[in-house]
Structure 1
């Protein structure tokens, strides 16, 4: 890789390196886990369609490129030019101008980078065939399950649905947080709903690139990888919808400052992102058997999601045991075994949501954002949130960041963010000791 142009190719069965330029080879070894754990090939009730396997491979390649190409190496320390070459089975479909347009638009929305993606025919079998168990029940519904508060609330709600067919939860293991994720899943099982619930655990931990340097710390394509994994599972189960539960407040993720606009804030479940992903699936999927991705919590604030979880039987302790943090201390090298840092923006939204639903929040956090001895660098999100809440937020602000899909109602989005701002405003009184004491 030279200059500010970075070229990576996912090795095919015959190692067919693209011609021209200097290419960095990536492949299965770019993940720490064994391939079977990465791709979750176990207890699938049917084969994975070629288009879904291709989409998963493309998402894996984009994820590794995102981690291997460091933003610190470019002039503005953010915008990279990345060329990616991936082998696909459905080569003619992926080569079309429509697919290329949808994919590059999706990647640019997620990462803020300039992407060029080329495809070549996949020759031979790159991964072992799935171990099929035809007698295993086919799920009627598939949802991502992170161990977070939103996914727990949705899983608990759907486990109570009057449906004899199973709910399949697709969970990607988190480094240092697997026990927490398993504990959160047990909260769904304890509800003992009328519906069977199945868990499909997968892995996605990137390995080093051989340089000895730390990988890129941002990970804007991780959500795409998770979505592609769930889409792949849904296609094998014959399910036409994948639910990606994320409260609408954080799905929109309005920037607290101008410096956090567009891809500088996470956009993995933004309505525009899901719109682009669904357009891509429609372009590469088989007619009549493609999958659609939906956020079932798009119209709810964090507090409303918490309340929905309480309404189906989850306890405050269940909700407080979840993971919401953008930078979990347990994932950090040498960090304490705590799931939530307490000071990042997702943790602040979490705090406001639990206060809204429970009146209290007894989550064990690493730090308090309003603590007097907090390092200034760690209080950045709290200070930005205070300024944002004290300022005006208008319908124009909704429309000037990441665009909304044509079928979205900007007024409904504006109302949603307004309700979320009211929940967050409750945190302002915690910034002085008297307010914190009163709330406690």
Structure 2
């Protein structure tokens, strides 16, 4: 990873390297401490000490970091900083990087739409991808074909431990993706000239808020990477340590179906939408969408709302089959329960405390978006005749 950055001639800020060190350490600790060994079988007390180039600067925001990581993983974090952080060698030849925007480009449908819309708006984009087996070539294809072509860097953290038994929930892992974006943003010419660089995390609002579909899916069973409260907390940390970036999710108030309908270039979206990825179990089914996990259901619902043919291959295509592999699979049942709960008990009761945060100032808009997202899922279940 470091060598790839050097080869590109990028020279990130010291604070950006420190943030990456924090992110890598958090992901590693998250994978070491198993939840089933904690007092309640889930919530852990995680203590982390990180070497930084300027530990005093980071120690001043320790409580904010603790709160952000605790919200992200629903554990109790205690992070401290110590001297010893080091900067990688400077590149032999510094590259001039004229992009004005950094965007995460995962190979997924939402980030594809985000990059299309940003390019259409005139932004000069530097795409950042976290390499995942099965998505590498797709990321490069999207970068090449969107707009006049995007600058792209593909990075992989490979943070892991040698322990044979690891914690698989890993709710912190995507913070490294965000750290990669901060690293690149601080390398841009405009950043070095004193400007603030926007970082775009393009995620539909339903997945970003990700309210637990059922009471059994509380806490860490619902990922919070793009949740507006988490992004606010991380933004506060970055501001406090002097990193001039602004994290934005322009689609926080839109469903996935609305993102597809309102995409600024329908032609390129139609060309690439079906080869983008959404599945939470993509590798498990030989790089094929399973068709039944929650992200797959939201994807299928968005194509239905878009009104165009979904050419995606799904391993479990016909969800009307009433067995444990299809309609009775727990994710399918969870969506069904959520739809019925909102219909019978009301949307607010179903949402629960998912939007309860003083850091969220658009609660009414997010509430309405969640209602529309559930309607899209309801129309999918009706169309598939899920029993």
Q: TM-score, normalised by structure 1?
A: 0.79
SS of the residue aligned with 2:152? strand
Deviations, residues 166-218 of structure 1 (Å, cap 9, x unaligned): 310000001x313xx42254245335x2x4510011002334x33333x2211
Q: Residues 262 and 252 from structure 1, CA distance in 2 versus in 1: closer, same or farther, beyond 3 angstroms?
A: same
Gaps of 5+ in 2: none
Alignment equivalent of 2:127, drawn from 169, 177, 200: 169
Any conservation in 2 of the 1:43–1:132 contact (CA below 8 Å)?
A: no
Counterparts of 2:331 and 2:354, CA distance in 1: 19
SS in 2 for 1:314: helix
User: What is aligned with 2:228?
Assistant: 271
> Residues 43 and 188 from structure 1, CA distance in 2 versus in 1: closer, same or farther, beyond 3 angstroms?
closer
Give the secondary-structure state (helix, strand or coil) at the position aligned to 1:236: coil
Q: CA deviation at 1:401?
A: 2.7
1:25-424 residue pairs with structure 2 within 5 A?
Answer: 35-37=2-4, 40-45=5-10, 47-96=11-60, 99-122=61-84, 125=86, 128-131=88-91, 133-163=93-123, 166-174=124-132, 176-178=133-135, 181-191=136-146, 193=147, 195-207=148-160, 209-213=161-165, 215-237=166-188, 238=191, 240-285=197-242, 290-309=244-263, 311-328=265-282, 330=283, 332=284, 335-338=285-288, 340-368=289-317, 369-375=319-325, 379-392=329-342, 393-395=346-348, 397-398=350-351, 400-401=353-354, 403-406=356-359, 408-424=361-377
Shift of 1:305: 1.3
Distance in 1 (alpha carbons) for counterparts of 2:353 and 2:328? 28
Segments of structure 1 that go 5 or more residues without pairing to the other structure are 1-33, 436-440
Cα distance in 1, alignment partners of residues 310 and 103 from structure 2: 27
1: CA distance, partners of 2:328 / 2:152: 35
- Size of the aligned set, in residue pairs, is 377
Contact 1:398/1:410, CA 8 A, preserved across alignment: no
- Cα deviation for residue 85 of structure 1 reads 0.7
Partners of 2:366 and 2:141 in 1: how far apart?
33
Hey, what's the Cα distance between the residues in 1 that align with 2:269 and 2:58? 47
Deviation, 1:342, is 1.4
RMSD between superposed Cα atoms in Å: 2.4
Pair 1:418–1:290, CA change in 2 (3 A): same
Q: TM-score scaled to structure 2, two decimals?
A: 0.89
Runs of 4+ aligned structure 1 residues displaced above 6 Å come to: none
CA distance in 1, matches of 2:109, 2:78: 36
